[in-house]
Amino acid sequence: MADSSRQRRRNAIPGFGLTMGYTLTYLGLIVLIPLGALILRASTLGMAGLWEILADPRVLAALRISFGLSFAAALLDAVFGLLVAWVLVRYAFPGRRFIDAMVDLPFALPTAVAGISLAAIYAPNGWLGAPLESLGIKVAYTPLGIFIALVFVGIPFAVRTVEPLIAEIDRETEEASATLGASRGQTVWRVVLPPLMPAMLTGFALAFARAVGEYGSVIFIAGNLPYLSEIAPVLIVIRLEEFDYAGATGIAVIMLAISFAALLAINLIQAWSRRRFGYA
């Protein structure tokens, strides 16, 4: 926005060399060199070595569990995130401000705390585990338990990406739609929801990316049984404990590649949304 004016006056402000130098040095030391070490280590494996690690049925099963359940959890988060954001923005009810603050709990609550708490709730004698068990549904030590933990960590992403957009919706378009004879359902479906889609997709992608890498809130409820409830991050830790650095690196590189693909997808969605709707 103010690019041209800033461009003209850029030399007036001091400290560029100092702050930029510090930023790049710190970024390099903490983030780029360590990540580079991972890539370097992976490159010594070669494509054949990487392929060998990937072809291990246990690794494949862990990746399938991680990505499949993360996808499902992010999908549920996106749907309920829209609902929660809508209710928080549009409706007045007692305790609204408290509920709004609580949405960020999964950001603030340490993952290990969430993990043991969910494990206790869904244990066969837990608050929800016991009634579900009498219905014949087992949650703890099954993929369903992993799914529940992943839904938990994704909630704030799904809510916070759509919430500001709902708050900014121009009520006049809804009035116009109603004036032209649309029912409330038609107005919501055809006028209100379409512009929210990019934000929902972004929320979905963020929740998905977070869920794929999640470790602390999953391990206690999952039981970590190979081929059944073992997620990829757990397998990395197991490989490290076996001093199989190559195996750990291989899985890590594959996970990194997929996370970056998710990041790229978010950027593409936002670029598309800017063109289509005029905002990201």
Partner 1 sequence: MPDTRHQPPTTERGTTRVVLTLTALAFLTVCLILPLAAVFTEAFRNGVDAYMDAFREPDAQAAIRLTLTVAAIAVPLNLVFGVAASWAVAKFEFRGKSLLITLIDLPFSVSPVVSGLVYVLLFGAQGLLGPWLAAHNIQIIFALPGIVLATVFVTFPFVARELIPLMQDQGTGDEEAALTLGASGFKTFWTVTLPNIRWALLYGVLLCNARAMGEFGAVAVVSGHIRGETNTMPLHVEILYNEYNFVAAFAVASLLALLALVTLAAKSLLEWRYGDAIAGRAGH
144 binds partner 1 (CB under 8 A): no
Q: What are phi and psi for residue 128, nearest 5 degrees?
A: -100, -25
Question: CB under 8 Å, gap of 24 or more: what pairs does 166-170 form?
Answer: 166/85, 166/86, 166/89, 166/90, 166/196, 167/89, 169/195
Per the CB < 8 A criterion, the answer to whether 60 and 54 are in contact is yes
Near partner 1 in 112-141, by CB under 8 A:
112-114, 116-121, 126-128
Among 207, 220, 229, 247, binds partner 1 (CB under 8 A): 220
Q: Which region among 52-60, 130-138, 139-147, 151-159 touches partner 1 (by CB under 8 A)?
A: 151-159
CB atoms within 10 A of CB 48: 7
- In angstroms, how far is CA 144 from the centroid of its own chain? 18
Q: Which of 146, 166, 214, 222 binds partner 1 (CB under 8 A)?
A: 214
Q: How many CB atoms lie within 10 A of CB 51?
A: 11
Answer yes or no: are the C-beta atoms of 214 and 111 closer than 8 Å: yes
**Interaction of residue 86 with partner 1, rule CB under 8 A:** yes
Which residue in 51, 64, 104, 225 binds partner 1 (CB under 8 A)?
104
- Regarding 257 and contact with partner 1 (CB under 8 A), the answer is no
Exactly one of 35, 60, 137, 271 binds partner 1 (CB under 8 A); that residue is: 35
Q: Which of 55, 57, 97, 135 binds partner 1 (CB under 8 A)?
A: 97
Is residue 193 a contact point for partner 1 (CB under 8 A)? no
Member of 260, 268, 274, 276 binding partner 1 (CB under 8 A): 260
